Structure 1
Amino acid sequence: MSITPTEWAALLPLIFPTLGACLIPLMALDRDQATAKWIRGAMYLVALAAVAAGFWFLTDLWKSGAQPAFHQLHMDRLAQFSGIFVLVAAAMAILQSWDHFHQEGWVKGETLSLLLFSVTGMMLFTATTNFLVLFLGLELFSLPLYAMVATVRHRAEGAEGGMKYFLTGAVASSCFLMGGVMLYGLGGSLDLTLAAQAIRAQGLGADPMVMAGAALLLLGFLFKVSAVPFHQWTPDAYEASPHPIAGFMSVATKGVAFLALLRIFPVSLLGMGAAGARMQAALAFLAVLTLVVGNLTALVQTNVKRMLAYSSISHAGYLMLGFVAGTPAAFTGVLFYLVIYLAMNMGAFGLLTAYGLVGEHTTFEDLRGLGWKRPAMGFAAAVFMLSLAGIPPMGGFYGKYMIFKELVGTGHVGLAILGVLASLVSAYYYLRFLVALFLQAPSTEAERLASDRPAVHAPLAGATVLVAAAIVLAGGFVQAFLADGFAHRAVSEGLGLLR
C-alpha cells in the first residue's frame, strides 16, 4: 500500500517520538562505566530531538493551515493543538528529569523511552473518533505512566503508588472498553460520531443500554482527569512519582483526556438526545463534587505534592464546568485554561527539583525561607501560586473567567458562583505555599541539615521554571493572542463548532 505525502504528514508527528522511544533502550544496553556519562547525555539528546522534531512538524502544519488525515487518524487543528501541548509538557519533563534523577542518583534511559511512548499514545488518543483507535491510544499512553510512577525502584512508596494507579486504571479502561462496545452494538459503527447519529435516528436516546454505554465511556475520561469519585489514585501516584513525572502526569494526562472528550462530547455524547442531556447533567453534578472535595481536602495537606495533587483535582472541576456550559466560547476557554495549567503545574513541580527537594517527603516546613535564597525561583513560585488561585492579572484568572462567563451566559449562574467560591477557598493553601517561602524562617535543625548538604545545581529545571512563569504571565497580559490565535482556531477549525 502506497502512502501519499498528505498521509505521511498525518503520521510523522507520531513517528518521531516512536523512533526515539525505540532507539533509547538500545543505547541503554551499553553498561561500560567509562562511557556511561556520555551515553546518558546522548539518550537525553535523542529524547529532546524526537520531541523537537514532532513539535517542529506540528507547528509547520499549524502555520500552513494543512489538516491531513490517514484513515481514522485526523491531524486537524485540534489534534495539532493537542500534539503541541503534549510535546511542550514532555520537553519540560525531560529537562527537569536530568537534574532530578542526577540529584536522586537514578538515571535510567528506560524512563525516557516510556515517556516518549506515552507521548505517542496521547497524540493518537486526541486525533480520532474511532473507538478502537481511541482505546489503543488510551492504553499506549497509560501503561508507560503506570511504570513511570514506580520508576525509582528503591522508593518503597513508588511500588505502592504504581500498583494503585495500575489497578484503578485497569478498572477504568475496562469500563471505557465496555461502554464503547455497547455503543457500537447499538449504533452499528466504531466511529462514535456515526454511532451517535444512528442511535438518535433510531430514537434510542432514552434506551437504558445507551445510557449505560455513554456513562461507562464517560467514566474512562473522568478517571484520567481525576474527577471525583474517580480520583483516589491521584495523591498516592503523584507522591510516589519523581517530580518531573508527577508534573507531566498532572498536565498531559488531564489535558489529553479533556481534549479527546472535547472531540467526542459535543458531537457524540450530546448528539444522542436524552442520553446526552443526562450526561451533561451528570457532568455538572460531578464538577461540583470535584471542586468541593478537591479544594477542601487540599486545605488540610501538609505534604506539598499531595496538596498539588488535590489542587489538580479541583482544577479538573473548573474545566468540567466548561463542558457544562457547552458553547464554542466555553470550549475555547477550556483550551486556553489548559495552556496556562500546563505552565502552572509543570512550573510548580519543577520548583521542587530546582530547590533540591528530591527523594523525600516535601512538607511546607521544608519550604521555609527558600524564596529569599533564590529570588528568581521565588518570583516564579509567586506567579504560579497566584495564577493557580485565579488572582488577576495572572493567566489562571482569565482561564477561569472565560469559563465562568459562559456559565452565566447559558443560565448556570449557581455553578459560576460556586466556581468563584472554590477559587477563594483555594487561595488559602496556595498562599500558604508563599508564606512558607517568604515569611517563615527555617528551623535551626533545618538550617543545620541544609549546611551539611552539598549545594544544589539544577540549571535545566530552573530554566523550565522560568519559561513556565513567562507563559503564565503572557497568559495574563496577552491572553487575547493565546485565546484567539490558538485556542479559538483549534475549536473553530478543528471541530467546526463555529461554522
Structure 2
Amino acid sequence: MNLSPSQWAALLPLIIPSVGACLIAIMALDKDQATAKWIRGAMYGTALLAVAASFWLLTELWKSGSQPSFGQLHLDRLAQFTGIFVLVAAALTIMQSWDHFHQEGWVKGETLCLLLFATVGMMLFASTSNFVLLFLALELFSIPLYALVGTVRARSESSEGGMKYFLTGAVASSCFLMGGVLIYGLSGTLDLSMAAPILKTQGLALDPLVLVGAALMLLGFLFKVSAVPFHQWTPDAYEASPHPIAGFMSVATKGVAFIALMRIFPVSFAPLGAVGAKMQSVVAVLAVATLVVGNLTALVQTNVKRMLAYSSISHAGYLMLGFVAGTPAAFNGVLFYLVIYMAMNMGAFGLLTAFGLVGEKTTFDDLRGLGWKRPAMGVAAAIFMLSLAGIPPMGGFYGKYMIFRELVGTGHVGMAILGVLASLVSAYYYLRLLVALFLQAPSAEAERLASDRPAVHAPFAGATVLVCAAIVMAGGFIQTFLSDGFTRRALVEGLGLIR
C-alpha cells in the first residue's frame, strides 16, 4: 500500500514510540558504570520525548478534524481519544518509575522499552475491527506487560505474579483467537464490523457456533478488564509489579479493552438480534458478580495494593453497567469515567511511591500518620479515595451518575440500585486508607525504623500525584465540558453512535 507523506505523518504517533523503544533497547546495552547515570537519564528522556511527540501529533489530528484510515486501521476520533488516554497514562508511569526504581535500587532501561511497545499495542488495539490486527495488537501489549510484572527479579513474588499473569493471559488470548476463527469461518471476513450483516444475510444469525465464537471473544476482553470470574490474576499481578506498572495496567489495559469492546460488540453484533441480546445478558450477570466480588473482597484486605486491585475489579463492574444500558449516552459515560478513573488510580498507586513505600511495605499500618507528614500528598489521597467511592463533587461521582442514569432510563433500575449500594460499601475501605493517613499514629517500631532511614525524595512521583488530583477535581467541576467536548465527540465522529 502506497502512502502519501500526509498519511505517513498521521502514522507518526504509532511510529515514534516504536522507534523510541528500539533506541532505548540499544542504550540499555551500555553496562559501563562511568556512563550509567547519563545513559539512564537519556533513556528516560527518550521515553518522555517519544510519548510527548506522539501526544502532540494526536492532539493536532484532533484539532484539525482529520480522521485518516489505512486499510483496516482507522485513526478516527475514538482511536485518537484512546491514543491520548494511553499516552497520558504512559507519561505518568515513566515519571513515577524514575523515583520508584531509584528507591528500590532496580533501574533498568528495558522496562521503558517494554512500556513503549505496550503503549503502541494498546493504541493499535483500539484502532481496528480487523480480527488479525486485533490479535496482533493484543499480543503486542500483553507480552510486554507479562514481563513488566516480573521486572524486579530480586523479589520472589515478582516472578510468581508474572508467571500467573502470563499463564492466565495465554489462555484468554487463545480463547479470543478461537472465537475470532469461528466468526471468520462462518462469515468469511476478517472485518468484525462486517461479520454480523454477512451472517444475517446467510441466515446464520442463530447458529450456535456464532454464539460460541462471540462468547469466546468476549472472554478475551473480560479477562483484560479483570471481570469476574476472569479476575484471579489481578491481585497477584498488581502486588508483584512495581507501583507505577500496577497503576498503568489498572487503567490503560482496562481502558483500551473497554474501548475496543465498544468498537466491536455494540456495532458488530447488534444486527444479530438474539445473539446480541444474549451477550448483553451475559455482561449484565458478570457485571453484578464483578461488583459483588470486587467490593466484598476489598473489604478484608490488609495490603494496600491488593485492596486497590480488588477495587479495580469492582470498577470494571461499574463500567460494564454502561454496556448493559447500551445507549450512546451510557457509552459516553463509560469514556468519561475512564478518563477520571485513569487519574484516580494512577494517583493512588503514585502515592505509594511518593510516600516511599516500595518493595513489600504497602500495608495500611505503613500509612499511619503520613498524611500529616506530607500534607499535599494527604490531600491528594483524600481526593482520590473520595472520588473512587463516588462522593460528590469529585469526578468519580459524575462518571457513575452518567452510567446509573442510563440504567434507570433503560429500565435496569435494580442494577442501578446495586451500583449505588456497591459504591456505599466501597466507601468503607477507601475511607479506611484516609483513617490510617490522618487518624492513626504510627507505632513506636515504625517511628524508630523511619528515623534510621534517610528521607524519601520522590519529586516526580509527587508531581504526577498532584496532576492526577487536579484532573479528578476538574472532572467534578467541568464535567460537562469534558463530556460534551471530548468523550462525546469521540463517539459522534468515531463510531457515529450519537446523532
Q: Which residue of structure 2 lines up, in the alignment, with residue 368 of structure 1?
A: 368
Paired with 2:202 and 2:412, the residues of 1 have a C-alpha distance of 31
Structure 2 letter corresponding to 1:327: T
Structure 1 letter corresponding to 2:64: S
CA positional deviation for 1:271 = 2.7
Give the match's secondary structure for 2:227. Answer: coil
Give the match's secondary structure for 1:154. Answer: coil
| Alignment check: 8 A CA contact 1:10 1:73 kept | no
Q: Which residue of structure 2 lines up, in the alignment, with residue 287 of structure 1?
A: 287
Q: Which residue of structure 2 lines up, in the alignment, with residue 321 of structure 1?
A: 321
Q: Which residue of structure 2 lines up, in the alignment, with residue 19 of structure 1?
A: 19
Paired with 1:49 and 1:269, the residues of 2 have a C-alpha distance of 40
Residue deviations 1:419-460 (CA, integer Å, cap 9, x gap) = 000000000000000000000000111100111110000000
Paired with 1:269 and 1:449, the residues of 2 have a C-alpha distance of 58
Q: Which residue of structure 2 lines up, in the alignment, with residue 35 of structure 1?
A: 35
Structure 2 letter corresponding to 1:414: G
Q: Which residue of structure 2 lines up, in the alignment, with residue 108 of structure 1?
A: 108
Alignment of 1:186 onto 2:186: yes
CA positional deviation for 1:30 = 1.2
Q: Which residue of structure 1 lines up, in the alignment, with residue 274 of structure 2?
A: 274
Structure 1 letter corresponding to 2:25: P
CA positional deviation for 1:204 = 1.9
Paired with 2:131 and 2:10, the residues of 1 have a C-alpha distance of 18
Paired with 2:498 and 2:362, the residues of 1 have a C-alpha distance of 46
- Return 5+ residue gaps in structure 1 as ranges: none
Give the match's secondary structure for 2:190. Answer: coil
| Alignment check: 8 A CA contact 1:9 1:68 kept | no
| Alignment check: 8 A CA contact 1:270 1:280 kept | no
CA positional deviation for 1:6 = 4.0
Residue deviations 1:15-71 (CA, integer Å, cap 9, x gap) = 011001110011111111111000000000000000001100000000111001111
Structure 2 letter corresponding to 1:80: Q
CA positional deviation for 1:8 = 1.6
CA positional deviation for 1:85 = 0.3
Paired with 1:266 and 1:2, the residues of 2 have a C-alpha distance of 33
Q: Which residue of structure 1 lines up, in the alignment, with residue 424 of structure 2?
A: 424
Give the match's secondary structure for 2:269. Answer: helix
Q: Which residue of structure 1 lines up, in the alignment, with residue 380 of structure 2?
A: 380
Residue deviations 1:177-221 (CA, integer Å, cap 9, x gap) = 000000011111000011111112223222110010000000000
Structure 1 letter corresponding to 2:223: F
Q: Which residue of structure 2 lines up, in the alignment, with residue 444 of structure 1?
A: 444
Q: CA RMSD in A?
A: 0.7
Paired with 1:364 and 1:186, the residues of 2 have a C-alpha distance of 53
Q: Which residue of structure 2 lines up, in the alignment, with residue 306 of structure 1?
A: 306
Q: Which residue of structure 2 lines up, in the alignment, with residue 203 of structure 1?
A: 203
Give the match's secondary structure for 1:110. Answer: helix
Paired with 1:460 and 1:416, the residues of 2 have a C-alpha distance of 39
Q: Which residue of structure 2 lines up, in the alignment, with residue 119 of structure 1?
A: 119
CA positional deviation for 1:274 = 1.0
Residue deviations 1:202-254 (CA, integer Å, cap 9, x gap) = 23222110010000000000000000000000000000000000000000000
| Alignment check: 8 A CA contact 1:353 1:461 kept | yes
Alignment of 1:345 onto 2:345: yes
Structure 2 letter corresponding to 1:425: V
Cα 1:196–1:248, aligned 2, differ >3 Å: closer, same or farther?
same
Residue deviations 1:146-174 (CA, integer Å, cap 9, x gap) = 00000011010000000000000000000
Structure 1 letter corresponding to 2:59: T
- Return 5+ residue gaps in structure 2 as ranges: none
Q: Which residue of structure 2 lines up, in the alignment, with residue 224 of structure 1?
A: 224
Q: Which residue of structure 1 lines up, in the alignment, with residue 2 of structure 2?
A: 2
Residue deviations 1:259-292 (CA, integer Å, cap 9, x gap) = 1001001111323221111000000000000000
Paired with 1:79 and 1:465, the residues of 2 have a C-alpha distance of 26
Paired with 2:152 and 2:92, the residues of 1 have a C-alpha distance of 19
Paired with 1:198 and 1:117, the residues of 2 have a C-alpha distance of 35
Paired with 1:197 and 1:390, the residues of 2 have a C-alpha distance of 40
Identity %: 81
Q: Which residue of structure 2 lines up, in the alignment, with residue 175 of structure 1?
A: 175
Residue deviations 1:291-341 (CA, integer Å, cap 9, x gap) = 000000000000000000000000000000001101110000000000000
Q: Which residue of structure 2 lines up, in the alignment, with residue 97 of structure 1?
A: 97
Segments of 4+ moved more than 3 angstroms: none
Paired with 1:286 and 1:273, the residues of 2 have a C-alpha distance of 20
CA positional deviation for 1:9 = 3.7
Q: Which residue of structure 1 lines up, in the alignment, with residue 395 of structure 2?
A: 395
Paired with 2:361 and 2:321, the residues of 1 have a C-alpha distance of 33
Tell me the TM-score normalised to structure 1 length: 0.99
Paired with 1:24 and 1:127, the residues of 2 have a C-alpha distance of 26
Paired with 1:427 and 1:271, the residues of 2 have a C-alpha distance of 40
Paired with 1:240 and 1:322, the residues of 2 have a C-alpha distance of 31
| Alignment check: 8 A CA contact 1:118 1:140 kept | yes
Structure 2 letter corresponding to 1:299: L
Give the match's secondary structure for 1:148. Answer: helix
> Please, which moves more after superposition, 357-366 or 275-284?
357-366
Q: Which residue of structure 1 lines up, in the alignment, with residue 457 of structure 2?
A: 457
Structure 2 letter corresponding to 1:397: F
| Alignment check: 8 A CA contact 1:350 1:464 kept | yes
Q: Which residue of structure 2 lines up, in the alignment, with residue 413 of structure 1?
A: 413
Structure 1 letter corresponding to 2:146: Y
Alignment of 1:355 onto 2:355: yes
| Alignment check: 8 A CA contact 1:6 1:68 kept | no
CA positional deviation for 1:127 = 0.2
Paired with 2:440 and 2:62, the residues of 1 have a C-alpha distance of 47
Tell me the TM-score normalised to structure 2 length: 0.99
Paired with 1:205 and 1:384, the residues of 2 have a C-alpha distance of 45
Structure 1 letter corresponding to 2:480: A
Structure 2 letter corresponding to 1:399: G
Paired with 1:130 and 1:7, the residues of 2 have a C-alpha distance of 20
Paired with 1:292 and 1:453, the residues of 2 have a C-alpha distance of 41
Paired with 2:47 and 2:196, the residues of 1 have a C-alpha distance of 40
Structure 1 letter corresponding to 2:410: T
| Alignment check: 8 A CA contact 1:161 1:236 kept | yes
Residue deviations 1:132-156 (CA, integer Å, cap 9, x gap) = 0000000000000000000011010
| Alignment check: 8 A CA contact 1:99 1:459 kept | yes
CA positional deviation for 1:109 = 0.2
